[in-house]
Amino acid sequence: MSLLSVQELSVSILSDDGAARELVSKVSFDIEAGKTLGLVGESGCGKSLTAMSILDLLPKPQARRSHGKLIFNGETISTAAPSRLRQIRGKNIAVIFQDPMTALNPVQTVAQQIIEVLNIHFPKLSRRKHRERALELLHEVGIPAPEERLAVYPHQLSGGMRQRVMIAMALACEPDLLIADEPTTALDVTIQAQIVRLLKRLQEKNGMAMLFITHDLALVSQLSDHIAVMYAGKIAEYGPAKDVFSKPCHPYTQSLIAALPGINSPAKSPLLALEGQVPAIENMPPGCRFANRCRHVANICHTEIPQQDVNTNATMVACHRWKEIKQ
């Protein structure tokens, strides 16, 4: 049984002209306990909206979940009351967002913030135990001199250190699932690699599942068991990471992989450079949303929405022509 099942999730945004626009369109995926799903796609394709809608953290009032069902640990959370979602958040599902500054409280020290989380989840433990655990967490996320760091405020820390504090807070409640939305994008490459190694290590230790969101396909390849590739609000391809990487079926995935430096994919060819732009939401083509950029485009692609086919690797592919163009 999967830990989190996202079934045909759609998210709509009310724009200034009063029209509701569907920015995420019937997205489905599953995350198994202890496993990582990498959600990738270009900027603006709907990754964050997908992540935020899981715990109903969408920007209100303009954004709302307009379709779909979410099941966590056997419980239908798409219809759960806000109080129940708050309980699940932190206790069972933790979220790390892209910018740690917006998530940390600028007027509280690191110690106060971590202890506050611990206090909510482990109210029976003494203050001394909370402090000890906070220290241990800072140590686990690789913060040097944790004793001194406890007393400082977020602005006194570097970006990498703040991100680590965020991770420590997320881990404080020992979640079953960590939703990490581009947790390393704002950081330089060395720190990014350190944080990814750290998340992997902590995941092995705690058996936590992860939804890891990024536009960096190379990063996702190091972390994920499964990959979902999003394009313009829809999932183009979704399957076991090793299969999606070694035998990408969707032309969009093929282009993304071909564009990765240093990966010897058979698809590597200068012809695969991805030109053009993601269609604007008010201008979505009636057929395949990738049609205007696809080197395999045929007439049908302009008129009909592709079905979600499943290939022999249990990979879902939404492309009219994937069988013909198989590499």
Q: How far is the CB of 123 from Mg ion (least distance, A)?
A: 34
Q: Which one of ligand ATP, Mg ion, none is in contact with 192 (Cβ closer than 5 to 8 A by kind)?
A: none
For the chain, the straight-line distance linking the first and the last C-alpha, in angstroms and rounded, comes to 33
Q: Which amino acid is at 69?
A: K
Distance CA 282, CA 259 (A): 28
Q: Does 113 participate in binding ligand ATP (rule CB under 6 A)?
A: no
48 binds Mg ion (CB under 5 A): yes
Determine if 13 is a binding residue for ligand ATP (CB under 6 A): yes
Q: Residue 23 binds what, of Mg ion, ligand ATP, none (CB under 5 to 8 Å, by partner type)?
A: ligand ATP
* Using rule CB under 6 A, residue 234 touches ligand ATP: no
The entry of ligand ATP, Mg ion, none that residue 44 binds, CB within 5 to 8 Å by partner kind: ligand ATP
Residue pair 7/65 in contact by the 8 Å Cβ criterion: no
CB of 223 to Mg ion, least distance (A): 17
Binds 49: which of Mg ion, ligand ATP, none (CB < 5-8 Å by kind): ligand ATP
CB 265 within 8 A of CB 255: no
Binding flags for ligand ATP, 52-91, as an x/- string (CB under 6 A): -------x--xx----------------------------
Closest approach of Cβ 20 to ligand ATP, in Å?
A: 11
User: Measured from the CB of residue 43, what is the shortest distance to ligand ATP in angstroms?
Assistant: 3
User: ∠ CA 108-163-29 to the nearest 5 degrees?
Assistant: 120
Q: Report the side by side order of strands in the sheet with 234-240.
A: 93-96, 177-181, 209-214, 36-40, 226-231, 234-240, 316-317, 309-310
Cα distances from 237 to residues 57, 241, 305, in angstroms, run 26, 11, 14
- Which entry of ligand ATP, Mg ion, none binds 256, CB below 5 to 8 A by partner kind? none
Give the number of other Cβ atoms within 10 Å of residue 60's Cβ: 8
CB of 42 to ligand ATP, least distance (A): 7
229 binds ligand ATP (CB under 6 A): no
Tell me the C-alpha distance between 300 and 321, whole Å: 9
Q: Which two tokens stand for residue 149?
A: 């760091």
Give the CB-side neighbour count of residue 265, counting CA atoms within 13 A: 25
Minimal distance, residue 231 CB to ligand ATP, in Å: 10
CB of 235 to Mg ion, least distance (A): 16
- 146 in contact with ligand ATP (CB under 6 A): no
Q: Contact letters (x/-) for ligand ATP, 194-223, by CB under 6 A?
A: ---------------------x--------
Binding string, residues 146-175; x marks residues near Mg ion by CB under 5 A: ------------------------------
Q: Which of 23, 54, 111, 256 binds ligand ATP (CB under 6 A)?
A: 23
Instruction: Please give the backbone phi and psi of residue 302, each rounded to the nearest 5 degrees, phi first.
Output: -85, -15
DSSP class of residue 115? H
Radius of gyration of the chain (CA): 21
Among candidates 322, 324, 305, 308, which has minimal Cα distance to 254? 322
Nearest approach, Cβ of 143 to ligand ATP (angstroms)? 26
Which residues ranging from 39 to 58 are in contact with ligand ATP (CB under 6 A)?
41, 43-49
* Number of CB atoms found within 10 A of residue 34's CB: 16
Chain positions contacting Mg ion, by CB under 5 A: 47-48
Chain positions contacting ligand ATP, by CB under 6 A: 13, 23, 41, 43-49, 59, 62-63, 215
